[in-house]
Chains A and B, each alone.
Chain A
Amino acid sequence: MCLAIPARITKIKGMLAEVDLGGNTKEINITLTPEAKVGDYVLLHAGFAIQVIDEKAAEEIFEAWEEAYAALQE
């Protein structure tokens, strides 16, 4: 249940932001990561960004997440 996935912020409107999630746009809440900027990768959990992560890290996590997510969907 604590699964968190990386996503890149494409737009910020106050405490809401748009992220790109594998080609789909999704609205998220960034109250918990006020330092997040457009272009940043964040870890996403229950509709909220819970941490800003660096880009290289994001790619690595993305692979791990794909592995975990595929496991949960099987």
Chain B
Amino acid sequence: MQPYKSKKEYARYLLDRLQQEADRPLTAMEVCGTHTVAIARSGLRALLPQHIRLISGPGCPVCVTDDADLDYAIALAREKGVILATFGDMMRVPGTSSSLQQEKSRGADVRVVYSPTDALTLAAENPDAQVVFLAVGFETTVPTIAVALEQAIQQGVKNFSLFSLHKLVPPVMEALLEDPEVKIDAFLNPGHVCTILGSEPFQFVAEKYGKPCVVAGFEAVDILEALLLIVRQYREERPAVEIQYKRAVRPEGNHVARAYIDKYFIPASARWRGIGEVPGSGLVLREEFAQWDAARRFSLTVAPGKRVRKCACGEVLKGLKLPHECPLFGKACTPMKPVGPCMVSTEGSCAAYYRYGEQKVGGAI
């Protein structure tokens, strides 16, 4: 961006290029909650040429947690002698009939931690309790949890286990590409997931499905630059995986982190809220680490609860509906009183739309 005096000027240039170069309608999906927030906050949608549509996909690991899985986590929290440790974002996510926050107020021992190693510290400090860490996150977070588990094993901490609800991004992108209802022409790839994975695991998007795929950073100009790369690939019909966010993403990713994932976890089928079962899109602990698996250590039977049908999260997560097209949006469902998880997490699509109001133009530019 050398010749430009300011980011604002550069952003205007990029918007102008997009206007000139986008020769046919294009729908791009971002699969990253941090992008969802950045896009909503900067008001980018309203500034883009009319035929470029940006939709938000399943980019927030909190929002995609299935209510049945959350019910299981709640059942774990209700177990006598269990301390359930979780990242803060999970506290208010509704299960079928309760949330971890509600359980805590009813006396369950639920603790919010910032890092998975804090959960390990909790286990060491409470030798008479069983500490279960609610392992939620995409590829960015999994390696940090694998390191905490390794420390537990090395230090012989026996009262520590994981309830793995991890989700993997490439398989869900493939599931969306296979869904005849979902129409996506290109992907804005999640920056920090790609810090770990690099670009290789996304090659199939270009090679098998012929769609452009660009790893983007988190400033408005990053997203505009990435969109321009997409528009050029699209126009020239040469789909590829490109990295715009070169500051933090190398094509090979972080191999140490990836080796940690592979050492402890193995892909398994997982349930995504609103999307359903996606083969190979979750991670479970490998057989040799079964004793650290909370699902196996406790093996609870949880009766299926009744799902909240009115929430349109599923359609929002697939990009079929924009948040404000949900009849509950801003009325029965607000960040203070969320009906669905997309309104709970700060990075959920509904919360981002609610907070920044998509009609607002301008923002960062």
Q: 1/0 per residue A11-30: CB within 8 Å of B?
A: 00000000000000000010
A51-B217 Cα distance, complex, nearest whole Å: 14
Q: A33-B256, A34-B256 are in contact. Are A68 and B218 (CB under 8 A)?
A: yes
Q: Are A43 and B38 touching (Cβ within 8 A)?
A: no
- Among B50-58, B66-74, B179-187, B190-198, the one that faces the other chain is B190-198
Q: Are B60 and A1 touching (Cβ within 8 A)?
A: yes
Write out the residue numbers on chain A whose beta carbons fall within 8 Å of the beta carbon of B41.
Answer: 67, 71
Closest A-chain residue to B254, C-beta based? A51
B116 at interface by CB-CB < 8 Å: yes
Closest B-chain residue to A43, C-beta based? B248
**Distance (whole angstroms) from the CB of B65 to the closest CB of chain A:** 11
Closest B-chain residue to A16, C-beta based? B117
Partner of B217, one of A1, A58, A61, A74: A61
Q: Are B34 and A68 touching (Cβ within 8 A)?
A: yes
Q: Are A74 and B195 touching (Cβ within 8 A)?
A: no
A33-B346 Cα distance, complex, nearest whole Å: 28
Q: Number of B interface residues, CB 8 Å? A: 48
**Distance (whole angstroms) from the CB of A63 to the closest CB of chain B:** 7
Closest A-chain residue to B59, C-beta based? A2
Write out the residue numbers on chain A whose beta carbons fall within 8 Å of the beta carbon of B249.
Answer: 51
Q: Are A64 and B219 touching (Cβ within 8 A)?
A: yes
Closest B-chain residue to A73, C-beta based? B346
B143 at interface by CB-CB < 8 Å: yes
Write out the residue numbers on chain A whose beta carbons fall within 8 Å of the beta carbon of B219.
Answer: 60, 63-64, 67
**Distance (whole angstroms) from the CB of A59 to the closest CB of chain B:** 10
Q: 1/0 per residue B139-165: CB within 8 Å of A?
A: 011011001000000000000000000
A60-B32 Cα distance, complex, nearest whole Å: 20
Partner of A29, one of B117, B190, B222: B117
A48-B246 Cα distance, complex, nearest whole Å: 20
Q: Are A1 and B116 touching (Cβ within 8 A)?
A: no
- Which residues of A, 41-70, contact B by the 8 Å Cβ criterion? 43, 45-48, 50-51, 53-54, 57-58, 60-61, 63-65, 67-68
The SS class assigned to the B binding surface is: loop
Q: Are A47 and B248 touching (Cβ within 8 A)?
A: no
B364 at interface by CB-CB < 8 Å: yes
B87 at interface by CB-CB < 8 Å: yes
- Which residues of B, 182-215, contact A by the 8 Å Cβ criterion? 190-193, 195-196
Q: Are A29 and B32 touching (Cβ within 8 A)?
A: no
Q: Are A4 and B256 touching (Cβ within 8 A)?
A: no
Partner of B347, one of A1, A50, A51, A53: A1
- Which residues of B, 235-267, contact A by the 8 Å Cβ criterion? 246-250, 254, 256-257, 260
B115 at interface by CB-CB < 8 Å: yes
A54-B33 Cα distance, complex, nearest whole Å: 25
Write out the residue numbers on chain B whose beta carbons fall within 8 Å of the beta carbon of A33.
Answer: 254, 256
**Distance (whole angstroms) from the CB of B338 to the closest CB of chain A:** 16
**Distance (whole angstroms) from the CB of B230 to the closest CB of chain A:** 19
Write out the residue numbers on chain B whose beta carbons fall within 8 Å of the beta carbon of A34.
Answer: 256
Closest B-chain residue to A63, C-beta based? B219
A-B residue pairs in contact (CB < 8 Å), sample of 28: A1-B60, A1-B136, A1-B138, A1-B347, A2-B138, A4-B192, A32-B260, A33-B256, A43-B192, A46-B87, A47-B114, A47-B115, A48-B115, A50-B196, A50-B254, A51-B195, A58-B247, A60-B219, A61-B247, A61-B248, A63-B219, A64-B219, A67-B364, A68-B38, A68-B218, A71-B37, A72-B37, A72-B346
Closest 10 CB pairs of A and B: A47-B115, A57-B247, A2-B140, A64-B219, A2-B192, A48-B144, A71-B41, A64-B218, A46-B144, A32-B257
